[in-house]
Structure 1
Amino acid sequence: MANKHRIAVVGCGGMANTWMEYALGREDCEIVALVDIRPESAQAMAEKYGLSCGVYTDPAEAIEASGATLVFDVTVPAGHFEVGTTAMRLGCDVFAEKPLAETLEQCREMVRMSETTGRMHAVMQNRRYNPQIIALREMIESGVIGRPGFAGVDFYIGAHFGGFRDAMDNPLLLDMAIHTFDQARKILGADPVSVYCQEYNPPGSWYAGCSSAVCIFEMSDGSVFNYRGSWSAEGAQTSWEGEWRVTGERGTIIWDGSHAPYAETVAAGNQEGKFIRDFVRLEAEVPSLKNVGHHGCLDDMFDALAHGRRAATDCRDNILSMAMVFGAIESARTGSKVSIGI
């Protein structure tokens, strides 16, 4: 097939397998380089998938030697800025794991580099391609609960990863909350204005940095988004998607993160004088998607590349979700409410 995407995969551990398997399932993709600071990891991946492509430790060398046109950046968060900017400077489009970068200044530079070079940089936000989240958003758009005034989510998981996350200063906010914050923007259809955050490390935590946080965001539609989360919560764990409540003028939507959302709305008819009004329950219609999660997000990235449009998770959109992360970290550091801007 002509004009195949020539892909250099940078980072050969963890989620790289998901990205690899997706690319190998497409006729328009060819893996031309595997890159890892540990060459044995890249070689093991080549052997696992029966690839004869080059194995490298340096992304720039891999791109120049292989003629790659697209980079999958599946490195740890600390590697995203260098890998992304290097790839775009050398003429490659970039599909990257979250987060966009480790600081807001780096995120701004990534956006600037994308605009200057004309190369696409899109970030993996796989929750956007969860059909239940899409159903929740569609319920809000239908007006069934009226205008939303509040969205709240609880996220409590006891995640024993080991490795780099255990040593991070802000493991929950920087490595995980980005997913939930991006979900909130998708669900509400709104962007952040300000945040107050209390970050902490509870008794029994196995993380060096703060593994837990409570955040209150003001959003551009006038609503309030409240996040309560922990990565060192043993027992009674929530879904990885969190447990959500969205309240509006005429009702509430509930989503437990695992099953279809539902709404309870004020019933029709005259209810004047009732202390507690009558409600009706409405089940969400969950759409059927060809691909969900990571594969759904990759579908959109490749379609955007083919049609010359911005992906839904383009860096210029994703920086708004990252601004929520860095705003929360700054608020926790200073103990004050922080205005969010990019």
Structure 2
Amino acid sequence: MGKTIRIGIIGSGGIAGEHVKHYKKIEDVEIVGVADIMPGRAEQFIERWGLEGTVGFDDHRKLLELDLDGVSICTPNVAHYTTTKDALSAGKHVMLEKPMSVTLDEAIEMVQVSKQTGKMLNVGFQPRYDPNMGIIQQLIQNGELGKVYYVETGGGRRRGMPGGTFVRQEIAGAGAMADIGCYSLDLALNALGYPKPLTVSAYTSNYFGTNPKYHKEASAFDVEDFGVAIIRFEGDLVLNFKTAWAMHMDTLGATMFLGTDAGMKITPAGTGPWSGVWDGRVGSISLFHDIQGHHTESGIPLIQHQVNVFEEKIKDFVDAVREGKPAPIPGEQILRNQAILDGILRSSLAKKEVEIEIPEL
């Protein structure tokens, strides 16, 4: 028997249930407490998930007074900043749901507190655990494409708009960009080694979400349901990024990496109105290159697997806590993802290109 890892859960919505489900599968993990700002909700969650001996709180700071090794933060986006800082300051490792924060300044401070306390800030991008994501990264990192100079990524749902806390700016901070766009960015940027972004020129809109014909909460809908941006990076690299919760189109196209020696096209798996974005699995990988002067397209065989990517995300966090390893998906890396989301919203509001400034931490 190893040391029991004691976990707290902050926020008791649907995503918190996914965390609990997978924590319960891991030997020597105990969910000690749950906190939710709404009185009584933590206790209801504890009962629903059969968490015997787990204590409920309506103040996350009371939860953090317990003897905990780590916490999963599953709150609405606007609460990520405060709960993460408080958890790290209380000496707990953090498993944080995406997006990292609402603004770049918040993300910077969160990383600073992680460094000051020596506690890990791990951000939950579970699509990375699809083994085929590793193929994409390996092909690029091994130089198969030569110098990558242009990337196109993003995804669009024909009709796949959430509701509730996702569509109110005061709670979510942002819409489709933060909800599903951050996954597309992580796919591309992780494969490239997370280059440093320099500028963003962006446009966003919410013609579908604010129309009662398409959304039952149109009167409360005040985030973006569509966005597009051109992002420049160090190393003479440009990214064309586009995301939609809803649109009159079947697809916004594949993810593409253009390199001096080859190009790569990747499609997401899944069908139906809620598919077409990078919060799931890889559907296909194709390499475009020249052989003996002939234009050649090579299909890259996918790894057929039954990996539960969410389960792997939780296991990886627990292993890092247990073994004292660095964060599997560190906050200082995802800081650049958040910087782009922050820049997109600033650029869209200003209707012009904006610079991205990330301090050395």
Shared topology, TM-score over 0.5? yes
**Alpha-carbon offset, residue 237 of structure 1:** 4.8
Other-structure match for 1:214:
228
Which one of the candidate residues 288, 295, 308 is aligned to 1:264? 288
Note the aligned Cα RMSD (angstroms): 2.2
Distance 1:335 1:283, change over 3 A: same
Give unpaired runs (5+ residues) of structure 2: 216-220, 270-282
Other-structure match for 2:137:
137
TM-score with structure 1 length normalisation? 0.88
Larger mean CA deviation between 158-167 and 140-149 belongs to 140-149
Other-structure match for 1:314:
330
**Alpha-carbon offset, residue 20 of structure 1:** 0.5
Mapping of residues 72-221 of structure 1, within 5 Å: 72-157=72-157, 158-168=159-169, 170-191=174-195, 192-202=197-207, 204=211, 206=215, 207-221=221-235
1:135 and 1:261 in contact (8 A); partners too = no
1:12 and 1:74 in contact (8 A); partners too = yes
Give unpaired runs (5+ residues) of structure 1: 272-277
Quote the Cα distance in structure 1 between the aligned partners of 2:20 and 2:248.
33
1:324 aligns with 2:335: no
Distance 1:121 1:135, change over 3 A: same
Larger mean CA deviation between 23-32 and 243-252 belongs to 243-252
2:40 and 2:58 in contact (8 A); partners too = no
**Alpha-carbon offset, residue 340 of structure 1:** 1.8
Quote the Cα distance in structure 1 between the aligned partners of 2:340 and 2:61.
31
Other-structure match for 1:60:
61
Matched residue of 2:14: which SS? coil
Quote the Cα distance in structure 2 between the aligned partners of 1:70 and 1:144.
39
Distance 1:255 1:23, change over 3 A: same
TM-score with structure 2 length normalisation? 0.84
Other-structure match for 1:46:
46
Q: What per-residue deviation string (whole Å, max 9, x for no partner) do you get for residues 191-230 of structure 1?
A: 2222111122235464422211111111233221101221
Larger mean CA deviation between 194-203 and 204-213 belongs to 204-213
1:282 aligns with 2:302: no
Distance 1:291 1:80, change over 3 A: same
Quote the Cα distance in structure 1 between the aligned partners of 2:316 and 2:62.
29
Other-structure match for 1:274:
none
In the comparison of the two structures, how many residue pairs are matched?
330
**Alpha-carbon offset, residue 288 of structure 1:** 6.7
Identical pairs, percent: 22
